């Protein structure tokens, strides 16, 4: 079963609290996971940031929205209890609870209106009825969308560059990833297309304890097994054990299966992996804006 969105979780969460007892958010999250029949894999699914599970994030925001509508009240850190208003709402036997239902309460509307137009660390004003994303998910999905658009733009720009420039770009990327040392020290044999299929050589570490051979293909078509076999043969000719084959296109399944069976260690990087690594290591890109998402420091408020 798919992980329910945070609005779908509101009615089941409030129903659990209907016993008027104090509940731990952690325990309720587990109860709801069981109630919706989530698999272990679904329970462990993380947000794109990797800092929190999706189900915990959605249950947490479901509780937050109902706290703001005063259907629930916070009793202590990580615990809550239903209010009389929450009990009254359950007596009406609603089919579901979402932001449309919560909008009948002035406290909830004030909470939302106070945050309209705020930046990345606020609850966005675009969460409407039927929306499946929590505020963190909306922020992270927007970030990923911008990142993917940047990756596409990078690939279009690379496609307009010369093959020689692409070979230098590959060396710059590997140096930025920590291989070799300086660019001057790291890259050798760049642009020598007749050098037995080797486009570049880079030290695996700053001391040069091992060497990695590079093949950089600025191609439009898919790279097949024959090209990888040629590269593997070039490695053997140099008595090399490690190589990286990078392309602006993609690889066939046969090519990927081939490198998994040979003795030489060859890493295949397709266009999308190349673009993402360039973004991660700031090669060919520059920071435009920085947004910091903050949370309350509960340790600060502990009185001795």
Q: What is the pLDDT of residues 116-165, one digit of tens each?
A: 544 333 333 334 444 567 878 888 888 888 888 899 999 989 988 888 88
Tens of pLDDT, residue by residue over 26-43, are: 999 999 999 999 999 999
Which tokens belong to 272? 């999308």
Tens of pLDDT, residue by residue over 239-295, are: 888 999 999 999 999 999 999 999 889 999 999 999 999 999 999 999 888 878 787
* CATH number, position 99: 1.10.10
Contacts of 282 (CB under 8 A, 6+ apart): 176
- pLDDT at residue 278, rounded to an integer: 95
Same domain, 206 and 254: yes
Quick one: pLDDT band at residue 174, thresholds 50, 70, 90? confident
Same domain, 165 and 112: no
User: Distance between CA 130 and CA 98 in Å, rounded?
Assistant: 8
User: Distance between CA 166 and CA 52 in Å, rounded?
Assistant: 38
The answer as to whether 279 is a domain residue is no
Burial (CB count <10 Å: 0-12, 13-18, 19+), residue 254: exposed
The answer as to whether 137 is a domain residue is no
- pLDDT at residue 60, rounded to an integer: 92
More confident residue, 86 or 237: 86
The answer as to whether 290 is a domain residue is no
Mean pLDDT of 223-243: 89
Tens of pLDDT, residue by residue over 69-117, are: 999 999 988 899 999 999 999 999 999 999 999 999 999 998 887 655 4
Same domain, 111 and 69: yes
Residue 187 has pLDDT above 60, yes or no: no
- Least confident residue range of 167-171, 194-198, 264-268: 194-198
The answer as to whether 296 is a domain residue is no
User: Distance between CA 121 and CA 102 in Å, rounded?
Assistant: 22
Where residue 107 falls (left for φ over 0; alpha for ψ -120 to 50; beta otherwise) is: alpha
Mean pLDDT of 158-174: 86
- pLDDT at residue 184, rounded to an integer: 61
Same domain, 34 and 110: yes
The answer as to whether 280 is a domain residue is no
Looking at the structure of the chain, the number of domains it has is 2
* CATH number, position 179: 3.40.1340.10
Residue 234 has pLDDT above 60, yes or no: yes
The answer as to whether 281 is a domain residue is no
Same domain, 128 and 15: yes
Query: By residue range, what is the domain housing residue 264?
Result: 161-269
DSSP lists the bridge partners of residue 211 as 203
The answer as to whether 153 is a domain residue is no
Q: Which long-range contacts (CB under 8 A, 24 or more apart) does 192-200 make?
A: 193/163, 196/234, 196/237, 196/238, 197/230, 197/231, 197/233, 197/234, 198/234, 198/238, 199/167, 199/170, 200/167, 200/170, 200/171
User: Distance between CA 140 and CA 291 in Å, rounded?
Assistant: 12
Which tokens belong to 82? 């239903």
Mean pLDDT of 210-229: 88
Same domain, 116 and 201: no
């Amino acid at each position: 079963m798919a992980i329910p969105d945070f609005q779908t979780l509101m009615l089941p969460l409030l129903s659990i609290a209907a016993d008027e007892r104090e509940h731990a958010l952690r325990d309720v999250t587990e109860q709801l996971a069981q109630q919706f029949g989530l698999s272990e894999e679904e329970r462990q699914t993380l947000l794109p940031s990797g800092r929190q599970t999706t189900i915990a994030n959605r249950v947490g925001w479901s509780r937050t929205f109902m706290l703001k509508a005063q259907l629930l009240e916070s009793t202590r850190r990580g615990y809550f209890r239903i209010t009389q208003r929450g009990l009254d709402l359950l007596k009406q036997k609603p089919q579901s609870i979402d932001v449309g239902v919560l909008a009948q309460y002035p406290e909830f509307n004030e909470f939302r209106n106070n945050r309209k137009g705020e930046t990345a660390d606020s609850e966005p004003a675009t969460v409407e009825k039927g929306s499946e994303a929590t505020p963190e998910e909306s922020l992270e999905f927007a970030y990923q969308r911008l990142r993917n658009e940047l990756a596409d733009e990078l690939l279009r720009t690379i496609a307009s560059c010369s093959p020689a420039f692409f070979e230098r770009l590959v060396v710059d990327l590997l140096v930025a990833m920590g291989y070799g040392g300086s660019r001057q020290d790291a890259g050798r044999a760049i642009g020598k297309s007749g050098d037995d299929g080797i486009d570049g050589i880079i030290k695996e570490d700053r001391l040069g304890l091992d060497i990695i051979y590079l093949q950089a293909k600025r191609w439009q078509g898919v790279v097949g097994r024959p090209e990888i076999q040629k590269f593997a043969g070039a490695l053997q000719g140099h008595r090399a054990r490690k190589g990286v084959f990078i392309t602006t296109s993609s690889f066939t399944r046969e090519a990927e299966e081939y490198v998994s069976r040979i003795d030489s260690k060859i890493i295949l990087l397709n266009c999308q992996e190349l673009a993402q690594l360039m973004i991660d290591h700031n090669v060919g890109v520059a920071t435009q804006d920085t947004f910091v998402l903050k949370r309350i420091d509960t340790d600060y408020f502990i009185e001795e």
